[in-house]
Amino acid sequence: MTITSFSLVTKGPALGIRHLQVLFLFTCATLVMLQQMNMSVAIVAITNSNSSNLDYPEYHLNGQQKSYILSSTFWGCCFTQLLGGYFSSRFGAKMLLFVISLATGLLSVVTPFSIAWGGWKLLFGVRLLQGLVMGGMWPCLYTHLAKWCPKKEQNRFGGIMTTGLDCGTALGFALSGVLSASHLGWPSSFYVPGYVGIVWCLLWLRYGANSPSESLFISLAERKYIELSLEQSNAPKGEIPLVPWRHILTSRPFLVLAFCKMSQACSFYTLMQQIPRYIHGIFRYSIWANALLSALPFVIMLMFSYFFIFLAEYLTQRRNIPLPILRKTINSYASWTPAIALVALTYISDQNVVGIICCLVAAVAAISGQAIGCSLNHVDLAPNFAGLLFGISNTLMSGAGVISPLIIGFVVTNESDRTQWRSVFLGIAAVLFVGNLLYLIFGEMTVQPWNGPKPVETGTAVENQTAGPMPAPDGPPSMEKFTYF
């Protein structure tokens, strides 16, 4: 007789294949976000060669055309988030992530040619197609994380994975500005991440795996540690649970979570897309100074993300803080601090450069807490459908990314007029306040009944009472116990 129990697998290996999978997820998020956000800075160089490198062509685009191009990837993401979540939950994330990263890299390489061959309309089409491909990435990441992440390590691994968004955004700004101002010119801001993404695909194809049981490189001990730690949340092996659409779409905790995520997206995507335009309109800095100042809030955001990861680990493991209190407290900071900073930003004098930059840094850096505050709540509610849930909520978030630049394109007709920016920032602050208030009241951090069938527990006291005394085994039981020091 073999006894297997989570309580017997006391600790996982300090460094294993699950860490490699999380590293892949982090770098995938970084590269895809870099390729999504590099246009925010590159469009300044594309339309104003005096601010970057005079050796490369300049294209004249009006404000509406710029808004269409900036929002194009988010248009695409709206249509494929749900598909990415559905297919990754049903069939695994490995091949989907491979196709997404490969197609994204190839489209990034051809981006500079598109505007030369077909003007802004072809550029819009290429970026729209790239957005369609990118849309399935985040649901795939959460699906893969749920398969590889032991419950005890969820905050740590999930936090590290989501910091790829912060890292990719910061690199998208800084690297695009530096490359655009270099002798390589603005086209290199699309070539470099595109080719790096193709290299990532080759490594992922070799070392990625849908689950521990499919990995060719994982040890038996680590595989048992992961599988047994997830035995209370995953469906029985070989069984693909049916999607409970009605329960998902009528679940109050999930609907509140989706609205909270959308409110944060209104702030985050607006700042990601518009900070370079705002700084250029107010201060008229050069492309490299604009890029570095635009990247600064996201660099600070990345640092704060790791702070929240360690804080969550400490509070849950050492102080036994209940998960609902942890999530809601951190999410309140991630939502209401940016709201306060954006309100303050609208009333600071445009001569106070330090004050304006500090408000932008505070508004962006605080959003880093949303990874621990509410993003991982998808896994809390339904581990079997984490990717699908994220696909639904991220579709709404991408919708905010589409609507935001279009509204700003109509409201902000003069980038140097701060009164036009004021109405944008005050509106975002109000949405952030309401979104977190609903999350505080109605948010939940427990597995929902519609997550799927629970595996049959063996060897429990209840089972022994109903089944009667067990016959004595022929020999002593063998116990699979793995402890690492």
- Structural domain boundaries enclosing 254: 18-234+244-449
**d(Cα 69, Cα 403) in Å, to the nearest integer?**
13
Q: 376 pLDDT band (50/70/90 cuts)?
A: confident
Beta bridge partners, 482, equal 9
Task: Write down the mean pLDDT value for the chain.
Answer: 79
**Domain annotation covers residue 227:** yes
Quote the pTM value. Answer: 0.69
pLDDT value, residue 463: 39
**Domain annotation covers residue 188:** yes
Q: 461 pLDDT band (50/70/90 cuts)?
A: very low
**Domain annotation covers residue 468:** no
Has residue 484 got a pLDDT over 80?
no
Domain count for the chain, please give it. Answer: 1
**Domain annotation covers residue 184:** yes
As given in the structure block, the two tokens for residue 168 are: 């990719």
Residue matched to tokens 């809390």: 380
Longest dimension (CA), the chain: 86
DSSP 9: B
Has residue 168 got a pLDDT over 90?
no
**Domain annotation covers residue 456:** no
Alpha-carbon dihedral sign for residues 23, 29, 32, 36: negative
What CATH number should be reported for the domain holding residue 46?
A: 1.20.1250.20
**Domain annotation covers residue 271:** yes
**Domain annotation covers residue 226:** yes
Name the nearest CA neighbour of 105 among 42, 205, 39, 197. Answer: 197
> Which of the two residues, 17 and 272, has the higher pLDDT score?
17
89-98, 279-288, 320-329, 472-481: lowest mean pLDDT where?
472-481
19-33, 225-239, 308-322: lowest mean pLDDT where?
225-239
Q: 174 pLDDT band (50/70/90 cuts)?
A: confident
**Domain annotation covers residue 458:** no
**d(Cα 37, Cα 45) in Å, to the nearest integer?**
14
Q: What are phi and psi of 479, to 5 degrees?
A: -115, 125
pLDDT in tens, 110-158: 999 998 898 888 999 999 999 899 888 888 888 898 889 887 787 788 8
